[in-house]
Chain A
């Protein structure tokens, strides 16, 4: 049994995910009504802080890094117009954040690939919501429908956590 080797904290995949996150955040910042200089500085500062937090702690402060990114997204969302492009940019930023979280420097390579099913479900839900908000004739009614759907999702999540056997029937492990 060979001794395990020391892990690498910064991998090429982590770099790609970080660049993708910064790019989507920057794109979201450019679609807002905020001054573009302020938006880009905010994205650069927030992104750099998040990456530094994650790398310096070897993944130990990833949640703090996620909070920083969520705060940046919140500030940008406050200045975002009610337009389809800003909606695409905002949703893409969140999906990029999820993908960035999936690529943990301390874990085995390929975690982003294994996270594709989860990202696909979240992306599909985003597409449905985006289509309902901007492609349907009226925008107010779908907003209420989406809110109701989200409340339903929260209720389902609560049910799944309280009663995991609802979706699961495990066979006895020994006869």
Chain B
């Protein structure tokens, strides 16, 4: 089945086209008023040129094939790309416009160079903090050589992911979470196996010992199934990103989401490598969730969902998140909440999650590290504003601490504090 064809893009006059046509019209009016033939002769090329540019423009809409990739180490984002037009003759008149994600900063202006049959470009950006962003493909527009009219080229390129992860993710791989147990009404089974308490049934491995095989279940289903015991298992983990708008503003929210994407992807990969069951959920107006599972497929599933996570304009009630979470996950699973705690009801979310039976760990990025520099304020007032922001954040963290363990992620580079907390949980179970 073929994808729907993109709609042909019409011609548009550029400001220069309007300028020349306006100048020509002015000369025409003056010429008629003054009965001056010379002014009419000046007006004619000015009026005809924009129309002629449309007439000799490419038909149908030119296509633009984009090949690009990103390079760079920590903090550096370098993107090289190559745009080829179809028909090839249109490439020389291509003009490119780039859109930089909010979480990346510009190191130097884009460099564009026209080669025979292609346009090459180089972008040098920086990622001052961990992030996962998708750079949208550049807008490719055909412009007539004089710059009077333009026509968007049809392109089918996808965005380019830029991924920069925090440090110390390898330490998270060594963390063994406490086993998930339902706190209220939990009863121990009498079926105690050789390895501990019975947990469930799973697909048997090729070299599974016969004593592990669940013969009755295998006979029922027609495939080999084996018993699994709790002592073999680590705990389960739910990664929850709060995508609701906060009082910190759109830019900080967008940057937080980039950092949260990078942290969630890295944490999920680290725990999935240890066979931990990991789920992923995001809450804006409503909850979206990927159920608990493990394996490479789950890793890909979570990765794609994290990339597709976007901010929402409408703030959903916190209780809705907790209720919805119970539909997807059993109570008792550790929830790692990534939130700025900057929303009006962000702190309530932790309380509701706790009341629904989810132990919560909050990974709270620093507001100061996410906020842009305020060049408009004098230094003294800037320091005062920063101090007030710190106090406000500490108050919100303090309101959360009775219900959850909070990791104050100040530098946004290392997850060492989170690994330490999970390895050495406080008196409250996490």
Contact of B146 among A70, A86, A118, A156 (CB under 8 A): A118
Stretch at the interface among B109-117, B170-178, B218-226, B340-348: B109-117
Rounded to whole angstroms, the CA-CA distance of A91 and B120 in the bound complex is 38
Let me know if A82 and B37 touch, CB within 8 A: yes
Are B93 and A122 neighbours in the complex by a CB distance under 8 Å? no
Check: A153 CB closer than 8 A to any chain B CB: yes
Whether B111 contacts A3 by the Cβ 8 Å rule is yes
Q: B122 CB to closest chain A CB, in angstroms?
A: 5
**Does B93 contact A154, Cβ atoms closer than 8 Å?**
no
* Interface members, chain A 127-175 (any B CB < 8 Å): 129-130, 133-134, 139-140, 143, 146-147, 150, 153-154, 156-157, 160-161, 164, 167-168, 170-175
Tally chain B residues at the interface, Cβ within 8 Å.
66
Q: Judging by beta carbons under 8 Å apart, are A7 and B113 in contact?
A: yes
Q: A91 is contacted by which of B2, B16, B31, B45 (Cβ under 8 Å)?
A: B45
B51 touches A147 (CB 8 A): no
Q: Contacts A7-B113, A70-B23, A94-B45 given; indicate if A114 touches B93 (C-beta within 8 A).
A: yes
* A21 CB-CB contact with B under 8 Å: no
Q: Contact: A118 with B53, CB < 8 Å?
A: yes
Measured CB to CB, the closest approach of chain B to A57, in angstroms, equals 13
From A87, A104, A173, give the contact of B147 (CB < 8 A). A104
Q: Are B15 and A63 in contact (CB under 8 A)?
A: yes
Bound Cα distance from A173 to B148, whole angstroms: 27
| In the bound complex, CA of A3 to CA of B40 (Å) | 49
Contact A170 B8 (CB under 8 A): yes
* Shortest Cβ distance from residue B27 to the other chain A in the assembled complex, whole angstroms: 7
**Looking at the complex, which one of A107, A125, A172 makes contact with B44 (CB distance below 8 Å)?**
A125
**B12, B145, B146 pick with most chain A CB within 10 angstroms:** B145
Q: Is A74 an interface residue (CB 8 A)?
A: yes
- B56 at interface, CB cutoff 8 A: yes
Nearest chain A CB to B113 CB, angstrom units: 3
Nearest-neighbor residue (CB-CB) of A128 within chain B? B44
Q: Are A168 and B60 in contact (CB under 8 A)?
A: yes
Selected from A117, A134, A157, A167, the residue in CB contact (under 8 A) with B37 is A134
B169 within 8 Å of A (CB atoms): no
Taken together as a complex, chains A and B put the C-alpha atoms of A73 and B21 apart, in Å, by: 15
Encoded as 1 (CB less than 8 Å from any B CB) or 0, chain A from 61 to 84 comes to 011001100100110010011110
Which residue in A93, A112, A121, A140 is a CB contact (below 8 Å) of B52? A121
**Is the CB–CB distance between B38 and A122 below 8 Å?**
no
- Is the Cβ of A94 less than 8 Å from the Cβ of B48? no
B280-318, CB < 8 A from A: none
A105 to chain B, nearest CB (A): 12
Interface string of B50-72 (1 = CB under 8 A from A): 11111110011100000101000
A143 CA to B35 CA, complexed, in Å: 8
Closest to A73 in B: B42
Asked whether any CB of chain A lies closer than 8 Å to the CB of B39, the reply is yes
Min distance, Cβ A120 to any Cβ of chain B, angstroms? 8
Residues on B with C-beta less than 8 A from A139 are 37
User: Is the pair B49, A126 in contact by a Cβ cutoff of 8 Å?
Assistant: no
Tell whether B398 is near chain A: CB-to-CB under 8 Å.
no
For the A-B complex with A93-B42, A125-B52 known, give 16 more contacts whose Cβ atoms are closer than 8 Å: A4-B112, A4-B122, A7-B111, A62-B16, A66-B19, A80-B38, A90-B38, A101-B16, A107-B93, A114-B93, A115-B145, A118-B148, A121-B52, A126-B41, A133-B37, A170-B61
Could you name 19 residue pairs across A and B whose Cβ atoms are closer than 8 Å?
A4-B112, A77-B38, A90-B39, A91-B45, A95-B45, A111-B92, A114-B92, A118-B49, A123-B45, A130-B41, A133-B40, A143-B35, A153-B51, A157-B21, A157-B54, A164-B10, A164-B11, A170-B60, A174-B4
The 7 closest A-B pairs by CB, nearest first: A108-B114, A4-B113, A121-B52, A115-B145, A173-B5, A111-B145, A164-B10
